[in-house]
């Protein structure tokens, strides 16, 4: 590091090489402690820091640094967000849809030598699309519970759903369940004994646990 200004102009607590200088200049504290103090929003108050003019200088410096950090991050983010879209498709083209195919679900076929299957992933996709065709509802995770690989074995389906506020949740859940049954019987031979739909309000807080179990 080249010294570009006379050393005596420097706030000597910022001496890069000496922790002793640092502590001597900060009423026994370190920059790290002051930085952690700022992280805690200066709580609980520490008079040893608050009443020290030197600490106050260092804290102001740290705060200024953080403001610069934030605006740097915002500037970088703004620049990245303005980029054209060309970076997205290489990502999507390079991921393998196989990763989420899941189990294979057999379909019967008149020919004894033909083997026909639909993947669990495809069934989940159908269930999502069924929901997407309805208004004011998002279908989240869909889980097929039971041994789907055995033809005729009874299974159940668990579906997480988010709805827009103000919707009649029981009615919406009934409509969705009917639509899903119709889709499943049209495209699969699964014996579905239950579709359990768990509904959460779109604007409810994630930890408010305002989940309503609909059977």
Q: How many Å apart are CA 112 and CA 70, to the nearest integer?
A: 66
User: Cβ 196 to other proteins, closest distance in Å?
Assistant: 15
Query: Would you say 100 or 109 has its CB closer to other proteins?
Result: 100
| Residue 15 in tokens | 């001496």
User: Cβ 161 to other proteins, closest distance in Å?
Assistant: 10
Scanning the structure block, which residue is given the tokens 């019987």? 185
Backbone phi, then psi, for 26, in 5-degree steps?
Answer: -125, 35
Query: Would you say 96 or 108 has its CB closer to other proteins?
Result: 96
Scanning the structure block, which residue is given the tokens 């309805």? 134
Positions that interact with other proteins (CB under 8 A) = 1-2, 4-5, 9-11, 14-16, 19, 22, 30-32, 35, 58, 61-62, 64-77, 80-81, 83, 85, 87-88, 90-92, 94-97, 99-102, 121, 124-125, 128, 132, 138-142, 160, 162, 202, 206
Query: Would you say 73 or 150 has its CB closer to other proteins?
Result: 73
Query: Would you say 122 or 192 has its CB closer to other proteins?
Result: 122
| Residue 169 in tokens | 């949740």
Backbone phi, then psi, for 140, in 5-degree steps?
Answer: -95, -120
Report the side by side order of strands in the sheet with 154-163: 137-145, 154-163, 191-201, 212-214
């Amino acid at each position: 590091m080249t010294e570009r200004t006379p050393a005596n102009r420097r706030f000597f607590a910022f001496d890069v090489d000496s922790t002793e200088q640092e502590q001597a200049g900060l009423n026994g504290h370190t920059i790290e402690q002051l930085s952690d103090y700022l992280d805690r929003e200066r709580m609980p108050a520490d008079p040893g820091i608050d009443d020290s003019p030197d600490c106050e200088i260092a804290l102001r410096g740290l705060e200024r640094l953080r403001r610069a950090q934030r605006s740097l991050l915002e500037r970088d983010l703004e620049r990245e967000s303005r980029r054209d879209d060309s970076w997205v498709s290489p990502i999507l083209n390079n991921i393998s849809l196989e990763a989420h195919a899941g189990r294979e679900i057999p379909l019967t076929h008149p020919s004894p030598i033909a083997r026909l299957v639909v993947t669990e992933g495809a069934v989940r996709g159908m269930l999502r699309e069924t929901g997407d065709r309805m208004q004011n509802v998002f279908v989240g995770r869909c889980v097929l519970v039971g041994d789907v690989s055995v033809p005729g074995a009874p299974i159940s389906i668990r579906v997480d759903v988010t709805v827009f506020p103000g919707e009649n949740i029981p009615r919406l859940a009934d409509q969705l369940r009917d639509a899903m049954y119709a889709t499943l019987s049209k495209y699969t031979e699964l014996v579905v004994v239950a579709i359990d739909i768990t509904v959460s309000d779109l604007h409810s807080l994630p930890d408010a646990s305002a989940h309503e179990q609909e059977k």
